[in-house]
Amino acid sequence: MADENTKVQLVKSDIPGAELPKPAEFCTVAILKRWLSCRGAKVSGNRKDLIKRVNDYINNGLSNNLVDPDGGVNVQKKRLKLGLIQEVNPTCNAEFPADGFQVGISCVPRIGYNHIWKYLIEDVEFKKQLSVEKPIVKGYNFFKSGKVLGLYSKSENGLVYVKSQVQPSYSKGGSVYAVKIIIHANSEIQKAFCPCPAGNDGRCNHLAASLFAMEDIFNKTVNMKETDTDQLPCTSKPCTWNVPKKRKQEPSTIQGVNFQKHVYGKESKAPRAPTPPVAIGYGITVHSKTAVSNAKQQSYPVTEEGEGCITVKAPGGYKFTLVDQDVTGGKLEHE
């Protein structure tokens, strides 16, 4: 039985970002911060400070003092690689290869959210079984928490076999679950197996976490390819250091403000068009019935009345804006 208390020593190849791809002076801020975090060092300061800090660690022989910056995920991967963690395999009714797997999912067809949803939700509903979104929600949280320790794949006879190693939710150490997935060449998930108590039908949180990890790899690969296609020098790109400030927004009346609540997945209703205030002559348009009554009580001459609005002139040739019972305008123009 694997010893759960055995300590492992991490090396640079065990932690992504623990090795500098080039001298510190030519590295980006993100690479420098990641390198420092792998040593438990301070990551604040500008690029010049970070370069000096990295070189100080290297010159003083502190670059080999590694820590796991990912909350123990890299330690668990190393323990799994050394056989210090027991791997629990599911009982597969279908033939699943026992060896010949390669690290990564380079031979796997692209998996997207639509494939994940179809296998976990739609196919279950089609079979008139109980279907809930719990595997989607919890599986995604499993993936974001770093519980997927490894992905391995193999292509054979028109099918792609994927094996992933996922941590249980209730234990940091001990055993890991070996999730096995069979995928068709058209990206359709054909069958999955997991040894966890909820994985009898192959639709558990550990499977969902594995699928989300695969989707994330594909998305990052596409984004990297799109970034690599843009290799123009900075002098051939639009100016970004002398961009003028945004224009000041024009003021508007309270009647013209549209208050709207946005809810994800729901289409917003078409906003009602506010009634535009239309001035006639030297008067102003008032939209409130209270303001109409107030204007008549103040003996302001009402020059025109319409549906819910009037136009008035203030004594002495001045015009004022009347809103409800307050006079909020001022001396605007004299006849």
| Run of H or E including 115 | helix 113-117
How crowded is the C-beta side of 132, counted as CA atoms within 13 Å? 7
Q: At what angle do helices 205-228 and 134-144 cross, to 10 degrees?
A: 60
pLDDT in tens, 85-102: 766 666 665 678 888 888
Segment 131-137 shows an average pLDDT of: 69
pLDDT recorded at residue 84:
73
Calculate the alpha carbon distances from 316 to 284, 305, 328, 333 in Å: 15, 21, 17, 10
**Residues 6+ positions from 291 with CB-CB distance below 8 Å:** 310, 322, 323, 324, 325
pLDDT in tens, 175-201: 788 899 999 888 888 888 888 877 777
pLDDT recorded at residue 160:
92
Alpha carbon distance 233, 79 (integer Å):
45
| Domain extent listing, the chain | 24-82, 102-124+131-222, 288-323
Of 11, 29, 8, 9, give the one whose Cα is nearest residue 19. Answer: 11
Burial 266-302 (b: 16+ CB within 10 A, else e): eeeeeeeeeeeeeeeebbbbbbbeebbebbeeeebee
pLDDT in tens, 15-71: 888 989 899 999 988 889 999 999 999 999 999 999 999 999 999 999 989 988 877
pLDDT recorded at residue 36:
93
pLDDT recorded at residue 54:
94
Tokens of 25: 């002076």
Tokens of 302: 């009402």
Alpha carbon distance 278, 53 (integer Å):
66
Burial class (CB in 10 A: 0-12, 13-18, 19+), 155: middle
Alpha carbon distance 182, 266 (integer Å):
35
pLDDT recorded at residue 32:
93
